[in-house]
């Protein structure tokens, strides 16, 4: 009997080691990591350079508490990160995971308005569908009915007005203008922030708005005195072929950028937010303290991992690699779409790609979701890991797979991924619907 509290009643393979894009299990199987876990392992597995940096940091200075110290490694990292993201003068607030980072962003936005004498601004507008994390605040912000409903009495609905997801049939500007109606209905003087994923990940298969969307969102937020928060936990750090996905369709600088996953690429728990000088300055010049904090925030070993990961991302030019390998993978997925009618669409940016699945007869999602799980299970048997998403999301029913291998994947490994996915799709197509 195991003493592990598993996520579900299915049986889990026991991972024992990993290198590059492959993960090996105790029973001798090898899996191509087509999703970097949950879009985390951006530099690939088993990089000893990162492990050595962490070991050296743990020997020299393993822990200090953020209420008593900053650290040399945190100071160095915050400055390197601001350069990499081209967010000069932004301040880095470090935490351990994406949910904590979004909790921090929501609380910071709220406190920013309190400091400015507008305590009535407590609402946060988010989109449907969306995913911002599993902790209660981040989950409340998320437009994912299926994940929220069990905890519903704890989540106050009127604090989280919802905006529809991007509509690729509209221009970016028209699409973004729909925020205005949501703001007006919510009462603009009660809204603290608008949060969105620049390229939607877990909840909607790499859906991106058209160019011009984020710049218009930023302008509307400014007009109404609302903070624009970009949740780049999945899409940031080069994953979409740019340091920040929010800038793919035009120059824009959000007030707060939320980061996670690729920051330390799975070598250590590291996430955080970048706050604009205006947001940081308002709090520091006001009450003088962000009324928030986690024990492990800015953990030196995690930050050392982040620094070493950034060295690799820059030295190996992995942001450009994400663009090049992403184009190769998307072209291959287009071919698979033509071969397999239950693939309705393929899309995405860089190496954050989505495969939309459904009924070939109607071209629509199946009434009963679960197709993505079937394809993911077949892919698993073919030695390929994918990230399936399915189920009813606030009335939007759909099945999809996310693909997002490490940015360090080679061209030959992209071909291998496509071969394995091709076989998985061939095995599942006949059984649809
Ligand atoms: N925000 C986005 C956009 C995410 O995709 C995720 C996780 O998938 C989170 C937040 C939550 O991050 P974590 O699971 O590290 O708490």
* Ligand 1 within 6 A of CB of 231: yes
Between the CA of 207 and the centroid of ligand 1 the distance, in Å, is 16
pLDDT digits (tens, 9 = 90+) for 409-425: 999 999 999 999 999 99
**What integer pLDDT is reported at residue 28 of this predicted model?**
97
Q: Is the pLDDT of residue 195 over 60?
A: yes
**What integer pLDDT is reported at residue 395 of this predicted model?**
47
* Ligand 1 within 6 A of CB of 396: no
Between the CA of 221 and the centroid of ligand 1 the distance, in Å, is 23
**Tokens for 172?**
């970016």
**What integer pLDDT is reported at residue 330 of this predicted model?**
98
For ligand 1, atom 13: residue with the closest CA: 98
Q: Is 63 helix (H, G, I), strand (E, B) or coil?
A: coil
**What integer pLDDT is reported at residue 203 of this predicted model?**
86
Q: Is 29 helix (H, G, I), strand (E, B) or coil?
A: coil
Ligand 1 pocket mutation, candidates 99, 124, 136, 302, criterion most atoms within 8 A of CB: 99
Q: Is the pLDDT of residue 392 over 90?
A: no
* Ligand 1 within 6 A of CB of 197: yes
Q: Is the pLDDT of residue 393 over 60?
A: no
pLDDT band at 369 (very low <50, low <70, confident <90, very high): low
**What integer pLDDT is reported at residue 391 of this predicted model?**
53
- Ligand 1 atom nearest 102 alpha carbon: 10
Cα separation of 159 and 164, whole Å?
16
Is there a cis peptide before residue 129, judged by omega within 30 degrees of 0? Answer: yes
Mean pLDDT on 56-81: 98
pLDDT band at 394 (very low <50, low <70, confident <90, very high): very low
**What integer pLDDT is reported at residue 221 of this predicted model?**
98
pTM assigned to the model: 0.97
For ligand 1, atom 8: residue with the closest CA: 202
Catalogue all structural domains in the chain, each as residue range(s) with its CATH number. Answer: 15-33+317-430 (3.90.1150.10), 61-301 (3.40.640.10)
pLDDT band at 149 (very low <50, low <70, confident <90, very high): confident
The mean pLDDT of the chain is: 94
The phi, psi pair for 382, rounded to 5°, reads -85, 0
* Ligand 1 within 6 A of CB of 57: no
Helical axes 318-339 vs 411-429, angle rounded to 10°? 30
Cα separation of 336 and 422, whole Å?
6
Q: Is the pLDDT of residue 48 over 70?
A: yes
* Ligand 1 within 6 A of CB of 414: no
């Amino acid at each position: 009997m195991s003493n592990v509290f598993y996520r579900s009643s299915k049986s889990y393979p026991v991972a024992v080691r990993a290198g590059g894009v492959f993960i090996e299990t105790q029973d001798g199987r090898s899996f191509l990591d087509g999703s970097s876990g949950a879009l985390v392992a951006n530099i690939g597995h088993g990089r000893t350079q990162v492990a050595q940096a962490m070991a050296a940091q743990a020997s020299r200075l393993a822990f200090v508490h953020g209420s008593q110290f900053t650290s040399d490694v945190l100071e160095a990292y915050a400055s390197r990160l601001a350069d990499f993201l081209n967010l000069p003068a932004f301040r880095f607030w470090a935490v351990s995971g994406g949910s904590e980072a979004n909790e921090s962003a929501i609380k910071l936005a709220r406190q920013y308005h309190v400091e400015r004498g507008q305590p009535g601004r407590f609402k946060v507008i988010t989109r449907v569908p969306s995913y911002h994390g599993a902790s209660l605040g981040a989950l409340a912000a998320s437009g994912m009915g299926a994940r929220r409903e069990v905890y519903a009495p704890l989540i106050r609905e009127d604090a989280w007005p919802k905006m529809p997801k991007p509509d690729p049939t509209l221009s970016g500007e028209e699409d973004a203008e729909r925020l205005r109606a949501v703001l007006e209905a919510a009462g603009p003087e009660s809204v603290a922030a608008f949060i969105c994923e620049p390229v939607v990940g877990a909840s909607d298969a790499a859906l991106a708005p058209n160019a011009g969307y984020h710049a218009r969102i930023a302008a509307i937020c400014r007009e109404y005195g609302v903070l624009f928060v970009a949740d780049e936990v999945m899409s940031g750090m080069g994953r979409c072929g740019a340091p920040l996905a929010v800038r793919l369709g035009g120059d824009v600088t959000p007030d707060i950028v939320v980061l996670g996953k690729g920051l330390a690429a799975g070598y250590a728990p590291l996430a955080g937010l970048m706050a604009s000088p205006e947001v940081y300055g308002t709090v520091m010049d006001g009450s003088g303290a962000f009324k928030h904090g986690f024990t492990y925030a800015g953990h030196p070993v995690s930050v050392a991992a982040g620094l070493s990961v950034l060295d690799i991302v820059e030295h190996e030019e992995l942001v450009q690699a994400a663009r090049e390998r992403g184009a190769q993978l998307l072209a291959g997925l287009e071919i698979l779409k033509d071969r397999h009618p239950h693939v309705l669409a393929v899309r995405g940016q860089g190496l954050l790609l989505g495969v939309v699945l459904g009924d070939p007869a109607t071209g629509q999602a199946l009434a009963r979701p679960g197709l993505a799980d079937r394809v993911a299970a077949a892919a698993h048997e073919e030695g390929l890991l994918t990230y399936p998403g399915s189920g009813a999301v606030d009335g939007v029913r759909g099945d999809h797979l996310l693909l997002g291998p490490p940015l360090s994947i080679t061209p030959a490994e992209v071909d291998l991924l496509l071969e394995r996915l091709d076989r998985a799709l061939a095995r599942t197509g006949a059984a649809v619907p």
